Amino acid sequence: MISMNFMSIDAPNLLFVDYSHFAISEYPNIQLEFLVEARLDIQYIKTIKRPDITGLFIGISNVETLRLSPDSVHVIRRCIRRGLLLPVFKNLVSFSFGSKKKRGWQLLPHLIEQSSKLETLIIQGLDSYTGDATMPPFQVKMLRVHGYGGNTKEVERLQKFIGESECGEVVLVEAAEAVVDDAMYCKPKGFYTCGASGGCGSCGG
């Protein structure tokens, strides 16, 4: 059961988390020391005006692979405006990011700066990227752009996005092939899912 007050997860040996729910008031005890991969789809609802996701992000900061939905990006940005400090993702090597709003892209530079070991950056489309968010020069082995149409505007956006960054390989996945690309969210064999109704957490009101 999830309440609007808090959620705790005490599962230090868990390897994979797939969390899809609205952002709640507090995540006081998130014990996920050996977490390898996290997929977050967090939505904002008006009944919780000031969600605090600090504990959640500290709890998943050891991940090697992180997937953020556009809704999650929106929630994180709102929380940063209210004082959330992003943790250092010291083990993060693969990161997926997408935003439906141009303001959401302002979050990406901060996340990249907190991820010094990043090797693969996956972008879910450039439709809402206007170049307003100045990207710091970053160095990755692979940049994947999903939902790429290849028109003149997208080429310009891609050039602005990369800027002076170094990418060992750029992979452009056409829109017809991307289709919300759930393949990138496939759970490796032997991994486990911890959703909002999962039994690995404890919640209270």
- What is the chain written as a DSSP string? ---SSEEEEE-TT--EEEEEEE--S---EEE-TT--EEEEEEE--TTSSS---HHHHHHTTT-SEEEE-HHHHHHHHHHHHTT--PPP-TT--EEEE--SSGGGGGGHHHHHHT-TT--EEEEE-STT--S-SPPPP-EEEEEEEEEE---HHHHHHHHHHHTT-EEEEEEEEEHHHHGGGGGGGPPPTT-----TT-SSEEEE-
pLDDT score of 106 more than 60? yes
Could you tell me if residue 65 is inside a domain? yes
Q: Give a yes or no: residue 62 inside a domain.
A: yes
pLDDT at 179: 41
Q: With bands split at pLDDT 50, 70 and 90, how would you rate the model's confidence at 175?
A: low
Q: Is residue 1 part of a domain?
A: no
For residue 96, the model assigns a pLDDT of 96
The tally of domains found in the chain comes to 1
Looking at residue 4, its pLDDT comes to 59
Query: For residue 161, what are the domain limits?
Result: 6-204
In terms of pTM, does the model score above 0.85?
no
In a domain, 105, yes or no: yes
Question: What per-residue confidence (pLDDT) applies to 112?
Answer: 92
